Amino acid sequence: MNDIVRRDPRSEWIARNRLHPEHDAVLARMGGGAPAAQWMGPNGVIRRDPHAVGFIGPNGIRRIDRSGAQSAGAGGAARREAAAAPARRRVDIDTPAFFIAVVADMPGGRLSAHDRDLLGLARQLADAETDGAVLLVSFGDPRETGLGEAGVDRVLNFAGEQFEGYAPELRLTALGGVERQHAPRHWLFPDSPLGGAELGRRFAARLGERPATQVWQIADGRCTGRGAAGASDITRELPRIVLALPECAEPVADTVHAAEAIAPPAALPQALRRVEDLGAVAVDPAGVALAEAEFILSAGNGIHDWDGFHQAARVLGATEGASRVAVDNGFMPRHRQVGATGTWVTARVYLSAGISGAVQHLQGIQQCDKVVAINTDAGCDMVKRADLAVIADTGEVLAALVELVEGGRKEQRNAA
Amino acid sequence: MRREDIKQVQGLKVAALVSVGRHPVTGRPRRADFDARAVEMGLSLVAPENMSLLHAGECSPERESALRGYLGMGIGALDVLDQPPEADIVPALEARLREMGARLVLCGARGEMGEASGLVPFLLAERLGWSLVSGLAQIESVDGDSMTVLQALPRGQRRRLKVRLPAVVTVDAAAQAARQSAYGPARRGELRRIEGEVTPDAAARDWNTAPAKKRPKRLKIVKAASARDRFKAAAAKAEGGGGQVLTGLSPQAGAEAILKLLREEGVLR
Amino acid sequence: MLDVVLPILIFAALALALAGALRRIGLWRQGRAAPVQLLAGLAAMPRRYLVDLHHVVARDKVFANTHVATGGGFVLAALLLIAVHGFGLESRVLAWALLAATAVMFVGALRVAARRKDPPARLSRGPWMRLPKSLFAFSVSVFLVTLPAAGVLPAGFGGWALAAVLALVVAWGLGEMFFGMTWGGPMKHAFAGALHLAFHRRPERFGGGRSTGLKPLDLNDASAPLGVGKPVDFTWNQLLGFDACVQCGRCEAMCPAFAAGQPLNPKKLIQDMVVGLAGGTDAAYAGSPYPGMPVGEHGGDVHSPIVLREGRALVDADTLWSCTTCRACVEECPMMIEHVDAIVDMRRHLTMEHGNTPNKGGEVLENLAATDNPGGFDPASRMNWAADLDLPLISARGSAEVLLWLGDGAFDMRNQRTLRALVKVLRAAKVDFAVLGNDELDSGDVARRLGDEATFQSLAARNIATLAQYRFEHIVTCDPHSFHVLKNEYPALGGHYDVSHHSTYISQLMAAGRLALGQWSGGKVTYHDPCYLGRYNGEYEAPRNALKGIGIKVVEMERSGFRSRCCGGGGGAPITDIPGKQRIPDMRMAEINATGADIVAVGCPQCTAMLEGVVGERAEVLDIAELVAAQLAAAPAQRVKEEVTA
């Protein structure tokens, strides 16, 4: 819908003229069906009808909503929404006084939530003095389009196949080049396993700088990070290299930045390649350890079609779990048992199929974020625990799920 | 993976750096989980006789019983480099590793006490000029000057790497769990205390260490124009508590509801 | 001619038997030293044999009589044979006595032969099948050669041919009965059994006593082996005990693991220990094998490991970890062999030397060391379940009449219901009680059954130190495992307490009229005896009395009382989780369902958990405390008034 206000002088004139035969009809049209509570009088004075204000509430009492949400027409609401999302302020830094470098993980070429938090933190550090600029250092093919919105002033991308995959030594020399060329005031790395955590520590060791790790707060030139495996907080002067945890700061929301690309250092010294990436190893989701798995499809006594269950797990890409009963009955191996007496799982989504939910089982899935239950018994404990429960035949729902997912994939393939 | 699957490598000298851990619930000293996994990885590679354990730090009776936990995995002796708590242990470890002539050093990804920054392996690799890989799941084979390893990626994925020896590797939760520590070998094993040079850790002196504060949960910030919307967002009840129960649906409709949730959570690939 | 041959035969057999005996004793003495009162034991032996052993044998009346006839007849006949034919004492009376003895023995042998015609599966075959024939050979031939001495037949009757035949048959009989007794024939049980009774490692068991607590290891003695890794690590009287086994298979018939198809057969295990003692393989074993494991693949000797980390030795580790330590085998064994002690001894080696406790075992032991409870829960949350109950802490009061020991069930949501019921009952009876609260640690039961003596002793020592700070008259607990450990195993470590199971205490409260209770009006109720309350502590009556007190008539199961079958939850079996053909709790629930009961009353958190884990149609599982507490609500109103005034 466009935001241009279209005026109809004739209906406005009718609205002003209470004696006009079409007066009520026009008022009603303008007021979205309800009689209008206010209008411009014939001599430009706003007229109000106090009886038309508000609406009759459920218990028969007139309620007046002064926020205007109630009486606003559709067009008005759209206008207000446009006003509610304020345009981001554009900030351009032409000659940076100093750089705060962020080495983002950028999985798949896009900023992760962790990266965005880190850029928010970098923004804070850069904006503490005038003309500080955030320099994003990234590797591989960039696919992210919203770098400016994320708070990036300058982008330094090392493209090329040699930087893809696991190439810590090469990336290290690249960072060394940036260090020599731009000498950032601070280096920020996401403290994420196999991403910034490793590269940041390598880089700190290379530079001989003592980094602050597991940092979750920076204030007044001091930073606080977790120590002793999360059991203590260490507060110290902010060092040059910081490895920060997710949610260390709010991502940038109010400003948009230039995200201007600058050329990487031309000549990098030859890196000594002692680690060679031989590529990903195909891992069967069924082989993933239960405790590690992110998405578990778990079977209980309500499963009768085991082939269908295994197929569903394969199609969904879920790791298989089982209740004690399914294991005892020999349908699933013991190491697939979920629960207090089996494995305590930490999956983000736990899809239980035909599990009634013994206490021990529910204990074992305490740490799961979302629990989905498929069961025929609406009264069982698993349904009570579940965030989403479908009361239907387990086998049929799984079959339908398989069909949907496979159908969706086919469509995608056809579209592509 | 079963232990028998791995061929023991002859003539390889392996060292594991071990530290005193801290139980997450009770805070009692124990084998550090990652370090123990590193030792386990070493034992899958070489016989216990070719495996040396190295600890740098204090040796109080309480810590000693935790260190003996590593001996209980079937290794005869553990070298303890006597270092006061305020010392920088990297120089001492570096000197000792050079002396030992180990070709492969296994470390836990981080300790469970003190700074636990996980920096030691990186500093050692840098100072020794060795290769370094982190987050190993398994060492597949060692031949001559290089080894083939599997690195653990999130969600149980694996990546195969070829690493030049000598190397420092770190091990975290993706590696095979450590074997049980047995009382007998732990009691009999030898703790060899080695005096060494002490380098004070000057940087850490000004630090302020406190028990971990609970981090505030991130709130959803609502950018709203009207006070009413802001009030509504702030007063909105937290989600959860009593899920949605769908009854009387066709299997297809149920499957669609589930699929929607799976897509929202982003677990479908 | 017989006058000459018989003494030679008799004394030759005796001499060989003596040599065999010395060799056998030598074998036993390879074991470690044990504190045994040799002379007192020998003096007590006849009584132990005639009273205690016979008491167990007499559970099978027919066979008890058979054994008295055969065994008694043989002992008498043997002594008289030596006197009459060996020393040639010319006494008609003795000769007639000998005739009578052999006749009795013959009658016994007939019964033995009848039983051997179609023997039940639990009996071993092999050499045991020839035993009735040997008994016949001995009794008949001795009878015949004694007829002349008794004056029934003239001397020299039948000529040399008959004499020669008779001499041969006597030789056979003597060979089996004298020579075989000490050289490893079926009759070995008589010789080794008698000495085993004399030098038993638990002399307290004789004369109606009870001794069920495991013996502590001396962990301060660095030279002592941690458990049993090789047969020589057993004490010598344990080795002797194994040799006493008569392979009657009563243990096998009672063993829940065997019935469930797990790789354990107590009889075979004891026979394997005999193989280990003497050296060789188990190929000669002629009884039921370990389920799913063929005979003949295992072997060893006294100095070789019993269990190998990899590969086969004398016994597989799974066999040892299948045991639920329910003590049914020990209870049934007529030779009073201590199977459970031996199994735990070998488990100690596996856990403390190999560090090889299967499945969740390692994790549980680590949890026990780090958090003092097997589940790894925060020890400070032990009392969370009772946040609304305002339970008095003994640390705040210093003393109480009853110390309520909660056990690790305090962390288990199901058991918390039982605990609440028990608190309700105690409050209704106005019992002055208190709890240790977060100072209570796991009793150490699981650690000890899993062979981790070090963790057990550490937990026990700390519990004993805590208990020493307070004054109380009794400890009451609803966990039979804690009950057993506190009552029977802490004394060896210096903790002596008056401990009762809650069913005992409730039945005492009922008897004293301190509980106003309504009458049961629900369905049929059966009662499942927990092993650690029944067989371990002989408490069969109190739970039944408590149920009777609320008007419940217990419908007994086929296996109840001292023959109750384990729920499968003891000895860390749910933790080590050795697969079988079926699950023990399923079998037990089938027995419960066979009574047609709607409710099974239990007195143990483990039993509750195991029986409630059975899926499908089953009786409801309720603790005695819950049943009693439910009747409190139905009590007359005056009780409420009293509470108001109080």
Whether A266 maps to a domain, the answer reads no
Neighboring chain B residues of C226 at a CB cutoff of 8 Å: 183-184
Residue-level pLDDT at B225:
65
The answer to whether the Cβ–Cβ distance between B183 and C454 falls below 8 Å is: yes
A169 and A40 in a common domain: no
A241 and A111 in a common domain: yes
DSSP C586-608: HHHHHHHHHTT-SEEEE--HHHH
The SS3 call for residue A230 is helix
Given a contact cutoff of 8 angstroms between Cβ atoms, the answer to whether C245 and C274 are in contact is yes
Chains that touch A (3 or more CB pairs under 8 A): B, C
Neighboring chain C residues of A325 at a CB cutoff of 8 Å: 615
Level-2 CATH architecture, domain C2-46+58-185: Up-down Bundle (1.20)
What are the structural domain ranges in chain C? Answer: 2-46+58-185, 226-354, 367-633
- Cα four-point dihedral sign C577, C578, C583, C584: negative
Residue-level pLDDT at B84:
87
Neighboring chain A residues of B157 at a CB cutoff of 8 Å: 280-281, 283
The answer to whether the Cβ–Cβ distance between A231 and B254 falls below 8 Å is: no
Domain boundary among A228, A261, A294: A261
Whether A360 maps to a domain, the answer reads yes
Cα B28 from chain centre: 18
Q: Which of A337, A298, A108, A296 is nearest to B155 (CA)?
A: A296
Interface of C with B in 371-410 (CB under 8 A): 371, 376-379
Neighboring chain B residues of A210 at a CB cutoff of 8 Å: 203
Given a contact cutoff of 8 angstroms between Cβ atoms, the answer to whether C582 and C588 are in contact is no
- Interchain contact C378–A (C-beta under 8 A): no
Q: pLDDT digits over B166-178, tens only? A: 999 999 888 888 9
The answer to whether the Cβ–Cβ distance between A275 and B125 falls below 8 Å is: no
Picking from B183, B187, B188, B190 by the largest number of C CB atoms within 10 A of its own CB, the best residue to mutate is: B183
Q: Where are the alpha helices (DSSP H) in C53-206?
A: 54-57, 61-67, 73-81, 92-117, 131-146, 159-174, 180-183, 188-198
What are the structural domain ranges in chain B? Answer: 3-206, 227-265
Q: What is the CATH number of domain C226-354?
A: 1.10.1060
Whether A277 maps to a domain, the answer reads no
CB pairs under 8 A between A and B: 248
Residue-level pLDDT at A66:
67
Residue-level pLDDT at B9:
67
Angstrom distance (rounded) from CA B155 to CA A294: 6
Interface of C with B in 310-339 (CB under 8 A): 310
| Residue of chain A whose alpha carbon sits nearest to that of C585 | A328
A227 and A94 in a common domain: yes
Q: pLDDT digits over C314-341, tens only? A: 999 999 999 999 999 999 999 999 999 9
- Radius of gyration over alpha carbons of chain B, in Å? 24
In this prediction, residue B215 has a pLDDT band, given cuts at 50, 70 and 90, of confident
DSSP A133-148: EEEEEEES----S-TT
The answer to whether the Cβ–Cβ distance between B184 and C452 falls below 8 Å is: no
Whether A276 maps to a domain, the answer reads no
Neighboring chain B residues of C305 at a CB cutoff of 8 Å: none
Question: CA–CA distance from B152 to each of A299, B131, B157 (Å)?
Answer: 27, 17, 6
pLDDT under 70: residue ranges of chain C: 1, 156, 158, 633-646
| Residue of chain A whose alpha carbon sits nearest to that of C609 | A360
Whether A267 maps to a domain, the answer reads no
Neighboring chain B residues of C366 at a CB cutoff of 8 Å: 30, 180-181
Quote the tokens at residue C50: 């005639």
CB pairs under 8 A between A and C: 15
3-state secondary structure B150-212: EEECHHHCEEEEEEECCEEEEECCCCCCCCCCCHHHHHHCEEEEEECCCEECCHHHHCEEEEC
CB atoms within 10 A of CB C363: 16
A206 and A290 in a common domain: no
Residue-level pLDDT at B59:
81
The SS3 call for residue A216 is strand
- Interchain contact B180–C (C-beta under 8 A): yes
CB atoms within 10 A of CB A283: 17
The SS3 call for residue B138 is strand
Whether A403 maps to a domain, the answer reads yes
Given a contact cutoff of 8 angstroms between Cβ atoms, the answer to whether B241 and A374 are in contact is no
The answer to whether the Cβ–Cβ distance between B180 and C226 falls below 8 Å is: no
Whether A173 maps to a domain, the answer reads yes
- Interchain contact A336–C (C-beta under 8 A): no
Domain boundary among A48, A67, A84: A84
How distant is the Cα of B261 from the closest Cα of chain A, in angstroms?
Answer: 8
A242 and A97 in a common domain: yes
Level-2 CATH architecture, domain B3-206: 3-Layer(aba) Sandwich (3.40)
Q: Find all residues with CB under 8 Å of A80, minimum gap 6, and list them.
A: A72, B225
CB atoms within 10 A of CB C395: 15
The answer to whether the Cβ–Cβ distance between B161 and A83 falls below 8 Å is: no
| Residue of chain A whose alpha carbon sits nearest to that of C361 | A341
- Interchain contact A344–B (C-beta under 8 A): no
Interface of B with A in 35-74 (CB under 8 A): none
Residue-level pLDDT at C254:
94
The SS3 call for residue C621 is strand
Give the residues across from A114 on adjacent strands: none
The beta-carbon neighbor of C574 closest among A301, A341, A359 is A341
pLDDT by residue for chain A (416 residues), tens digit each? 455 667 788 888 887 777 888 877 777 776 655 556 676 777 778 777 777 777 776 677 777 766 655 544 434 444 444 444 557 888 888 888 999 999 998 887 888 888 999 999 999 999 888 888 999 999 888 888 888 888 999 999 888 888 888 888 889 999 999 999 889 999 999 998 878 899 999 999 999 989 999 999 898 889 999 988 888 899 999 999 999 998 888 888 888 998 888 888 877 777 778 888 888 887 777 777 888 788 899 999 888 889 999 999 888 888 899 998 888 877 888 888 998 777 888 888 899 999 988 888 888 888 888 899 999 888 888 888 888 899 988 888 999 999 888 887 777 767 65
Chains that touch B (3 or more CB pairs under 8 A): A, C
Task: Specify the number of domains making up chain A.
Answer: 3
Quote the tokens at residue C252: 């096998």
Given a contact cutoff of 8 angstroms between Cβ atoms, the answer to whether B160 and A279 are in contact is yes
Q: Which domain holds residue A66?
A: 9-84
Higher-pLDDT residue of B223, A266: A266
A368 and A343 in a common domain: yes
Give the domain CATH number at A370.
3.40.50.1220
Question: CA–CA distance from B168 to each of B174, C519, C527, C563 (Å)?
Answer: 17, 73, 62, 61
Whether A331 maps to a domain, the answer reads yes
Given a contact cutoff of 8 angstroms between Cβ atoms, the answer to whether C70 and C135 are in contact is yes
Residue-level pLDDT at B220:
64
